[in-house]
Structure 1
């Protein structure tokens, strides 16, 4: 998306971002089905009809939210790998990156976990493709870690380990309140233990 250059364009982009943030909060808390565009508009202080200057439908809002988080994860994962390091360092950096997204975008993680099936068909295909590419980034790093440790690992087992770890990490928005720095450390320790189990 290009950055608006006019003052009016910048104001419109800022309002759109504000509406998306409000939608994320409401959908995470109440679920996609229970949220109306009018509810989102009310949270940011505009009328129901005014929201249609920014979005044609509630589904368009959901599509944009979940495409954004999927693109953020997929491109961020590639950047982690491109920075290089030993296989285990890259794996640790992937875990750190994923946790950063979790703690800064918990609403989007919760929506992705619960409302993926409400996406339009085109958005669902694009999200699934981005998710597969993100998973494969982890799979190849895990295989490299296993090879470096003398424990060859199949792609299928690597994929299971990655998905199981995502299940562990992505549950964090539903956890009881916990001091953030300690939560990051605990999730990192648990994720790496799960990923590296038996590969010692």
Structure 2
């Protein structure tokens, strides 16, 4: 099973993925049937099996894809940055855009990870750990005063950024620039304050 969308993915498969994410987030994985997903994209429920092996496969594809996408894009942004502060800014921008544009996926991850089979759940957790470690390294370099608190601070920043599905401005086709800028300032301010308190 691919862990992220293929570059040659069909528009229909992408549409199924979007609608499945929306429905799972709104009503829960167990509360949505294959026929309902099919109706949302204009095909019969059994017709979905030409694109996914079943509802479980859709959920695994979505949740593994979230984690792989964040890690791949995060590494790309860090590699392209000239220094640690720029890398942290780039990580923040990428995660904020994702949080504002893909709020259904964040809700889906928070609620439905337990429904994945053990092997797929392990894969998601492994990708998540790598993503966290990327942030911990960059945040620690950008704010050396964080010291051993860097990991806890990164998780706190994720809590802030991932709370956006509960905001009325989240979930649009594009990230709201004002909200994106606010979240960026809040996250940087929290890290800076934590670093100052540690060294003060």
Q: TM-score range by the shorter chain?
A: 0.7 to 0.9
- Note the 1:8-47 alignment, pairs <5 A: 13-47=10-44
Q: Secondary structure at the match of 1:177?
A: coil
- Residue in 2 aligned with 1:187? 183
- Residue in 2 aligned with 1:116? 113
Q: Which moved more, 1:127-136 or 1:42-51?
A: 42-51
CA distance in 2, matches of 1:62, 1:46: 19
- Residue in 1 aligned with 2:162? 170
Q: Secondary structure at the match of 2:44?
A: coil
CA distance in 2, matches of 1:188, 1:36: 38
Q: CA RMSD in A?
A: 1.8
After superposition, the C-alpha distances for 1:87-135 in whole angstroms (9 at most, x for unaligned) are 2221111111101111222211110111111112111111100000000
CA distance in 2, matches of 1:55, 1:146: 44
Q: Which has the larger radius of gyration?
A: 1
Which structure 1 residue ranges, 4+ long, deviate > 4 Å from structure 2?
1-4
2:150 pairs with 1:153: no
Q: TM-score, normalised by structure 1?
A: 0.87
- Residue in 2 aligned with 1:77? 74
How many pairs are equivalent? Answer: 188
CA distance in 2, matches of 1:177, 1:118: 28
Change beyond 3 A, Cα 1:132–1:50: same
CA distance in 1, matches of 2:140, 2:189: 16
Q: Secondary structure at the match of 1:153?
A: helix
CA distance in 1, matches of 2:164, 2:140: 26
Q: List alignment gaps of at least 5 residues for structure 1.
A: 5-9
Contact (CA 8 Å) 2:77, 2:90: kept in 1 or not?
A: yes
2:82 pairs with 1:88: no
- Residue in 2 aligned with 1:7? none
